[in-house]
Amino acid sequence: MTILEARHLAKSYQDSDRRIEVLKDANLLVNKGDLICITGKSGCGKSTLLHMLGLLDNPDQGKVLIEGKEVSSSSKEAPQIRNRDLGFVFQFHYLVEDLTAVENVALPLLIAGHSKSTSLAKAAELLSGFGLEERLNHYSNQLSGGEQQRVSLARALINKPKVVLADEPTGNLDPEKSAEIWETILRLNRELEQAFVVITHDREQARLASITYELEHGVLSPVNP
């Protein structure tokens, strides 16, 4: 089953006196259970692509379909789809600093309309499964980089999204912490068939994916294993 599809995405930016064509004709299919890695040189448009896939920005041309239905980032259903069907992890954790770890993870459930007690209980359970049972009530500045990123991953997963979109989720971590996050991603993919699209410029990590694409000259091409 196709969860997420990008068709013929094109996007350019105006940079003072010239236009940079970042995406030219990017196409992608994400099916249930896929672990897709996207690599590419710095500045090639990986984050731009992820923003389009995540309905955070609109392409100039082309479309994004969620379960076969075209959705625009500016449509009125986009916020609900982002919260319910998509999970996001970024290189920098973007946790809400005034909230504790468990409150951050509970946030997507609260937004979806669940009660506070249910949301906090589910968040605590998920965080405990990630080895953070001792850190539930810590604020992000009291957590290590690896812990912050595990909290971000839990927040991305709490609503059981159809796909998690991750933009260099381990880019800011040392190799040991990076390996921990990767092991968690691989386990969730294997055990729960959780679909992921992960941007990474680490070729070794990309080798672990079921499908790897390289973004170059605005086009995604499969990388031979």
**Positions that interact with ligand ADP (CB under 6 A):** 13, 15, 20, 22, 40, 42-48
Residue 197 interface partner, choices ligand ADP, Mg ion, none, CB cut-off 5-8 Å depending on type: none
Residues that bind Mg ion (CB under 5 A): 46-47
Residue 44 interface partner, choices ligand ADP, Mg ion, none, CB cut-off 5-8 Å depending on type: ligand ADP
Alpha carbons 154 and 156: distance in angstroms, whole number: 5
Nearer to ligand ADP among residue 44 and residue 165 (C-beta): 44
Give me the least distance between CB of 128 and ligand ADP, in Å please: 33
Give me the least distance between CB of 199 and ligand ADP, in Å please: 7
Contact 46, 54 (CB under 8 A): no
Alpha carbons 121 and 106: distance in angstroms, whole number: 8
Residue 15 interface partner, choices ligand ADP, Mg ion, none, CB cut-off 5-8 Å depending on type: ligand ADP
Contact 75, 149 (CB under 8 A): no
Give me the least distance between CB of 92 and ligand ADP, in Å please: 13
Alpha carbons 89 and 150: distance in angstroms, whole number: 10
Contact 123, 158 (CB under 8 A): yes
Secondary structure class of 30 (helix, strand, coil): strand
Residue 181 interface partner, choices ligand ADP, Mg ion, none, CB cut-off 5-8 Å depending on type: none
Tokens standing for residue 114: 């669940």
Give me the least distance between CB of 201 and ligand ADP, in Å please: 8
Distance from the first to the final alpha carbon of the chain: 23
Nearer to Mg ion among residue 42 and residue 224 (C-beta): 42
